[in-house]
Structure 1
C-alpha cells in the first residue's frame, strides 16, 4: 500500500482555520500553522495514522488533524468539547438544511421551560431564554451528526451573545456593551448564522474519527502514532477552572441532564472538576503520570512560558519517558476577552516534540 501523503502544513492550517471559533481559554487558532508543521514532522514515514487530541477544548486542533489525514480520537473531560468535535470531526457529511433550521426556529415541540426558570435575570433576555428551551424541544428528537451540529451551533450562539464569552458575568451586562454586532443579534439570529458556520466546516475526512469525554487517566491504554497534549496551563496566580468560565455551555450541550446545579451561586454554576492539572502543587505529578501513560507514543505538547512548571522542569519530566525531546518556541499573544481593554499577554508558546 502506498504511503498516505500529508497535505502541506500551510494548506492544512488554512483549511482548519474555518472551524467555528469559540472564545476558549488557550484556543490554538493562531497557532495552527506551527502545530500543522509539528504534526507533519512527527508523523510516521508511511503517513498519518492514529492521533489522540487528549485535551481537545475548542476542537480546532482535532479538526486540523482530520484535515491532515489522521484518524482522530478527540477527548476532553468536559462534555461540551465532545459535542463540538462530534459536529466537525466525527461528522463527515451531515449538515442541517433550511427545513431543519426552520423547524428549530419555529414553535416549540413541547412545553419545557427549564432554561427560563433557571436563568431568568442571570443570562440573556426572556425571548432568548425561551428560544433555548424551544430549540432543545426539537434537538431532543434529533440523532447523529445533525444533532451534534444543532447543539454545537446553539452553544456557539450563546457564547457569541455573552459579553466577553464567559459565564462568570451575570445580571445587567450593559456596561460591557462595546457595540459589537454579536451583542445586538438575538439568539435565534445567532443560531441560524452559527449553523451556517458549522455546515461550512463539515467535510469528508479520509479516516474514521471518535470522541470521548473522560479524564485523561481514564482513557483506555493503547498506542497512538501521535498524542497531542494541551492541558490546562497552571498559572502563577488565578486559576485554570474551565467549568467556572464555561459552565453554561457545558450544561446547555446536554440540557443540564444529570447535572447538579449549585443553586446558591448567582451564575448557577456546575461543580468544579478538580484534576491534578488544577493546582500548582500537583501539576508536576500530573505531567509525569501522563508522560508515563503515553510513553510508547510520539508526543507533541503545547505549553506557555507564563505557566508552571517552567521549561527546564518540563524537559526533565519528558526525558524521564522519552529519549528525544525537541523544543520549539513560538512568540504568541494571548488575547482573552472581547472588550477593548481585554488582557493581551506576550509570551512564548512552547511546542515540545518527544519521540
Structure 2
C-alpha cells in the first residue's frame, strides 16, 4: 500500500481527521471481515478513499452530482491527466463560443467578486464541453475545492460576500486564502490530484443515487448521514447548492429560488434524510435495503434523533449484533466551540455473515 496521503477537504462533517480511528475500530476492534464497501453518503470521499487505500473494492454513492464527480475522480479514476497549464487555459474565451453569464448575472455580490464570477462562467462552460472524462473530472474537482476554500465557512447557505471582503479578525476563516486567485489555488489541487489518484488493483465505481434508491450491494455498508442539531435547520442541499448548480450550469436560471437571499439553486433538492421528523423512518428503509451486509453508522452524540433512538431501531431488526463505539471528542472544522461533541460509531455485525 502506498504512503497514506488523504485528499484535503473543506466539506462540512468530513471524517478525514478521524478516518484512521474509524477504520481501526471496524477492522481491529469489531473484527468485521469484508472485501467490498458501499459508501452511501459518499460526500468528500474520505471513507471511500481510505477503503481504496486498503485494497477494498469501493462503491461510492452520493445524491449530489458534484459529489459524484469527486467520487469518480478519487475512487473510480486512477490517474490525473490534467496539467496546470491546461487548467488555466480553461479561463480563456474561445472565439467560436457564445458564452453565457449565469453566475455574473444572477450571483452578483452574493458569493464571489465580479471578476471571479466572470471567471467561473467561462471556466465551467469550457470544462463541460470537454470530451476527455478524466480531464473533465479533474477540472471540475479543482474548481469545486477552490470555490469552497474561497468561501467563509466553506459554504453557500448565506449571501455573505461582504463578510469575506470586510473581514478583519475572527475564528471562522482565513482572509489570505479567500483572496487567492483561482489560478493560485489550482496549483495546490493539481499537485494534490497527482499524488492521490492511485490504482489499488480493483474496479471501483461512483454512483449518483439518492440514499433510499441506492440498491447496490457490498459486504460492508457505511452510512454517514446528515445529522441535525436543535438550533440548526439548514439542509445539506442549501450548503452546497451552488456547486450542484455549476454541474448543471445551463439549467441554473430555471431553478433559482429568488425568495431566498442566497438564491438557492433547487436542482437535486430532496427531503430524504433532510427532515428531523422522518429521519428514523428513512433510516429504517435504508437498513432494510442492505439487510444482508455488515452496517456501520457514523453519528454524533448531540444529533437528532439520538444515539439511543438509532440503536433501538438497529436492534429491532434482530439480525445484527450492535455495538456502540465512542471515538471521543471531535469538533468539525466549522463547529469548534462545543466541547461536548463526540463522534459515535455504531457497528452492526450481520449475524448471518459470522
Instruction: Provide the TM-score with structure 2 as the length reference.
Output: 0.86
Q: CA separation in 1, counterparts of 2:80 and 2:232?
A: 41
Deviation of residue 185 (structure 1)?
0.6
| Alignment match of 1:61 (pick from 47, 50, 59) | 47
Aligned residue runs from structure 1 range 201-216, under 5 A = 201-216=196-211
Question: Is 1:317 the counterpart of 2:319 in the alignment?
Answer: no
Q: CA separation in 2, counterparts of 1:326 and 1:251?
A: 40
Render the CA deviation track for 1:109-146: whole Å, top value 9, x for unaligned. 63232221121222212211111112123212323121
SS of aligned partner of 2:251: coil
Match of 1:232 in 2: 226
Q: CA separation in 1, counterparts of 2:92 and 2:342?
A: 48
Render the CA deviation track for 1:253-290: whole Å, top value 9, x for unaligned. 33253761112333220238343422232122122211
SS of aligned partner of 1:252: helix
Question: Is 1:191 the counterpart of 2:186 in the alignment?
Answer: yes
Match of 1:302 in 2: 298
| Alignment match of 2:110 (pick from 106, 122, 132) | 122
Q: CA separation in 2, counterparts of 1:105 and 1:177?
A: 30
Contact preservation (8 Å) 2:211, 2:272: no
Question: Is 1:96 the counterpart of 2:93 in the alignment?
Answer: no
Contact preservation (8 Å) 2:80, 2:193: no
Q: CA separation in 2, counterparts of 1:312 and 1:265?
A: 36
Q: CA separation in 1, counterparts of 2:168 and 2:90?
A: 28
Deviation of residue 92 (structure 1)?
0.5
Question: Is 1:351 the counterpart of 2:349 in the alignment?
Answer: no
Deviation of residue 201 (structure 1)?
1.5
SS of aligned partner of 2:162: coil
Report the aligned-residue RMSD: 2.4
Contact preservation (8 Å) 1:53, 1:62: yes
| Alignment match of 2:260 (pick from 258, 265, 289) | 265
Question: Is 1:156 the counterpart of 2:145 in the alignment?
Answer: yes
Contact preservation (8 Å) 2:26, 2:32: no
Deviation of residue 27 (structure 1)?
1.0
5+ long unaligned stretches in structure 1: 1-6
SS of aligned partner of 1:273: coil
Question: Is 1:332 the counterpart of 2:334 in the alignment?
Answer: no
Render the CA deviation track for 1:49-108: whole Å, top value 9, x for unaligned. 221000011111111111111111111112221111111111112331244224224444
Q: CA separation in 1, counterparts of 2:250 and 2:189?
A: 21
Question: Is 1:32 the counterpart of 2:19 in the alignment?
Answer: yes
Q: How many residues align?
A: 336
Match of 2:167 in 1: 176
Q: CA separation in 1, counterparts of 2:277 and 2:258?
A: 30
Q: CA separation in 2, counterparts of 1:200 and 1:108?
A: 31
Contact preservation (8 Å) 1:55, 1:231: yes
Contact preservation (8 Å) 2:14, 2:332: no
Contact preservation (8 Å) 2:142, 2:186: yes
Deviation of residue 344 (structure 1)?
4.2
Contact preservation (8 Å) 2:83, 2:190: no
